[in-house]
Amino acid sequence: MGRRGCCMSHVVKRLLQCLGANPAIYEIEEEDENEVVDELENIVAGGGDGQKEAGKLQFPAVFVGGELFGGLDRIMSAHITGELTPVLKKAGALWL
């Protein structure tokens, strides 16, 4: 989930596609962002990777298996450490 036209959302999308996932992408218009962020924070309250503790949830926000996984930093660090592929497999996002 990210802002319409955001280059960081595009980076996350391309990474997931290159790994073999077919992510559902929800683009948010800038004028709707605050309302959507507030609603997402209510939905994921008490869960996720600690983004809420660091402040407002930020886009791109990546959900894996229905749970908030994190943003761009979390996705990139999980990819670099080799954690991302097993997480995607466990969630059924990869067939390999």
In a domain, 18, yes or no: yes
Cβ-based neighbours of 70, under 8 Å, separated by 6 or more: 48, 49, 51, 61, 62, 78
In a domain, 16, yes or no: yes
What is the pLDDT confidence band of residue 52, given thresholds at 50, 70 and 90? very low
Sole residue written with tokens 């790994």: 19
Tens of pLDDT along 6-25? 999 999 999 999 999 999 99
Number of domains in the chain: 1
In a domain, 50, yes or no: yes
**CATH label of the domain that carries residue 35:** 3.40.30.10
In a domain, 19, yes or no: yes
Q: The domain containing residue 74 runs over which residues? A: 2-90
In a domain, 13, yes or no: yes
In a domain, 96, yes or no: no
pTM for the predicted model, two decimal places: 0.79
Provide the token pair at 21: 């996932």
Would you say residue 75 has pLDDT above 90?
Answer: yes
